[in-house]
Amino acid sequence: MIALPPGVRFSILDRSLTLRGEHPSHALRHAVAFARHVENLGYHRFWVAEHHSVPGVAGSAPTVLAAAIAAATESIRVGTGGVMLPNHQPLVVAEQFGVLEALYPGRIDMGVGRSVGFTDGIRAALGRGKDAAADFPARLAELLGYFLGDQSAHPGVHAQPAEGLRPSPFVLATGAGAGHAAAAGVPLVVAAAIGDERMTAAIDRYRDTFRPSAWASHPYVVVAAAVAVADTEQAAYDLLAPEAWASAYSRTKGEFPPLIPAEDIRGLPMTPREREHFDEAMRHQILGTAETVAPRIAGLLARTDADELLITTGAHDRIARADSTRRLAELVGTAPRVRAESSA
């Protein structure tokens, strides 16, 4: 176990990645089973994501999947990382999270993001344009207002059963988005994969401009990072290589594919551009044995002063991924710390 700042939490983000030749239903069922696994290990939250028309991702309806996960678990917080608010009307999002919070009180997190559909076709199908993120602050204010009984956006309109309930809101953002989270007075989620300089700049901007609100009295920062812990450096590398390759493929071919085994990736004749994107994706990962991962996690926490780490491990080998989360839980001591804390 490594020495960590007091109160730091560890959570899991599962993007329901599919494997080559697998039906998406298997990835969704695995997400539910994986949530039960990490709950037993003492992780604080389990989040799912939103992606549309992506061959390698089964998670297209995060609030529906979150409901299934909340029903299958007992105490772990469950939520979204996140619902892309430009794609949806705030009233509908409020109603969905109102239902979740009503059914599973005190366990629901409402993580929202600013991204729009990846392609022209997806944006057209969603009825949103490239500039849909421009009105994110207004849409966020409307969404939060429904829970507070604020009808200023649409007088006389109530989000049932959301009004008066308090799912925990989070904003997934970098750049200007960090300022939106600060202005709204809600916790911020920022990805370590964007690089230290951009990550710390976003966090500093958020903390410097944070306005206390009905949702949070002080800044709260969640840093998302890809982490793999295994017996050897190579085994940990092999855990994260499949998603790194899928990311490189999407950057060059425009489509995020189902994951393939690490041994298949080693034999691929990558183009220089594919190799560049693959190496860049792997560069931002935290991987290795417990002894090598420990100082990197401690360093990330020291650089960011984060309140929480949100862990992703997009592995093809799901048994090895489950073992990685176990090793990480043992390394950071999640079970005694998280289970002793109240939800927030």
Residue 254 DSSP one-character state: S
Q: What is the pLDDT along the chain (344 residues), one digit of tens a residue?
A: 677 888 899 999 999 999 999 999 999 999 999 999 999 999 999 999 999 989 999 999 999 999 999 999 999 999 999 999 999 999 999 999 999 999 999 999 999 999 887 778 888 888 887 887 889 999 999 999 999 999 898 999 999 999 999 999 999 987 788 999 999 999 999 999 888 889 999 999 999 999 999 999 999 999 999 999 999 999 999 999 999 999 999 999 989 999 999 999 998 999 999 999 999 999 989 999 999 999 999 999 999 999 999 999 889 999 999 999 999 999 998 754 333 333 34
Yes or no: say if 276 and 34 are a contact pair by the CB < 8 Å rule.
Answer: no
What distances in angstroms separate CA 228 from CA 31, 77, 139, 265, 297, one per listed residue?
17, 22, 36, 18, 11
* % of the chain surpassing 70 pLDDT: 97
> For domain 9-339, which architecture applies?
Alpha-Beta Barrel (3.20)
Per DSSP, what are the bridge partners of residue 19? 259
Per DSSP, what are the bridge partners of residue 308? 9, 222
CB atoms within 10 A of CB 176: 13
CB atoms within 10 A of CB 185: 18
Yes or no: say if 16 and 27 are a contact pair by the CB < 8 Å rule.
Answer: yes
Q: What is the dihedral of CA 152, 220, 41, 320, to 10 degrees?
A: 100
Yes or no: say if 169 and 100 are a contact pair by the CB < 8 Å rule.
Answer: no
Give 118-184 as a DSSP string. SSHHHHHHHT--GGGGGGHHHHHHHHHHHHHT--SSSTT---TTTTT--PEEEEE-STHHHHHHHHH
CA–CA–CA angle 225, 57, 320 (5° rounding): 55
The answer, yes or no, to whether the previous bond of 82 is cis (omega within 30 of 0) is yes
- Domain boundaries in the chain? 9-339
Residue 286 DSSP one-character state: E
Residue closest to 257 by CA, chosen among 1, 44, 31, 54: 54
Residue closest to 169 by CA, chosen among 188, 152, 151: 188
Residue 74 in tokens: 């007992």
Sign of CA dihedral 182, 187, 192, 194: negative
Where helices occur in the chain by DSSP H, the ranges are: 24-40, 62-72, 90-103, 120-126, 136-148, 176-184, 196-209, 233-253, 262-266, 272-283, 290-304, 318-332, 334-339
